[in-house]
């Protein structure tokens, strides 16, 4: 006897991938295109998700352009949207300069004007990690849970 068919809902996964020059301009463009892409996907400007994603992309892209820069090589932004999560991935080609792991990010000295980017990522993202990138480099992945 054949079991009755089960009905499964469809799952929509949206993906946006773009490479940018490893420069401050490239980092700014990554942030702006993120906001435009989220708007196209139905996540309006000014919402918690849009604002958090823009800040996370800005920090990760700035880090990739500053600390992960290899002359002549770009960094890559990948956004993946499911029904429950927005995943942000920023990849660069420098593997030897790795950021600290989640939970190991130390606060900078009180008067320091730098080294706060990963603290923002740590506070805004529901989860984040640093992954090896094949064949070379690293990817910083941050996930934002979407409101239900």
The predicted-structure confidence for 4-50, as pLDDT tens digits, reads as follows 666 666 678 999 999 999 999 999 999 999 999 999 999 999 999 99
- Give the span between the Cα atoms of 23 and 18, in whole angstroms: 14
Alpha helix stretches (DSSP H) within the chain: 24-40, 48-66, 117-124
pLDDT level of residue 114 (50, 70, 90 thresholds):
low
Average pLDDT over the chain, rounded to an integer: 86
Of 30 and 117, the one with more pLDDT: 30
- The C-alpha atoms of residue 36 and residue 145 are separated, in whole angstroms, by 19
Map out the domains of the chain with their CATH numbers. 17-96+117-145 (3.30.565.10)
pLDDT in tens, 45-66: 999 999 999 999 999 999 999 8
Question: From the centroid of its chain, how far is CA 111?
Answer: 27
Query: What value does the mean pLDDT take over residues 94-104?
Result: 68
Kindly report the three-state secondary structure assignment for every residue of 10-38.
Answer: CCCCEEEEEEECCCHHHHHHHHHHHHHHH
pLDDT above 80: residue 104:
no
Whether the pLDDT of residue 112 is over 60: the answer is no
Q: 77, 89 in Cβ contact below 8 A? A: yes
């Amino acid at each position: 006897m054949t079991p009755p068919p089960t009905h499964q809902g469809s799952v929509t996964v949206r993906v946006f991938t773009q490479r940018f020059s490893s420069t401050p301009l490239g980092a700014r463009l990554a942030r702006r295109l993120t906001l435009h892409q989220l708007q196209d996907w139905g996540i309006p400007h000014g919402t918690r998700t849009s604002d958090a994603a823009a800040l996370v992309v800005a920090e990760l892209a700035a880090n990739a352009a500053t600390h992960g820069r290899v002359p002549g090589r770009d960094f890559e932004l990948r956004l993946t949207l499911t029904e429950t999560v927005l995943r942000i991935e920023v990849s660069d080609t420098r593997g030897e300069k790795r950021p600290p792991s989640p939970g190991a990010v130390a606060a900078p000295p009180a008067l320091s004007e730098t080294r706060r980017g990963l603290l923002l990522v740590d506070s805004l993202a529901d989860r984040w990690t640093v992954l090896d990138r094949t064949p070379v480099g690293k990817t910083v992945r941050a996930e934002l849970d979407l409101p239900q």
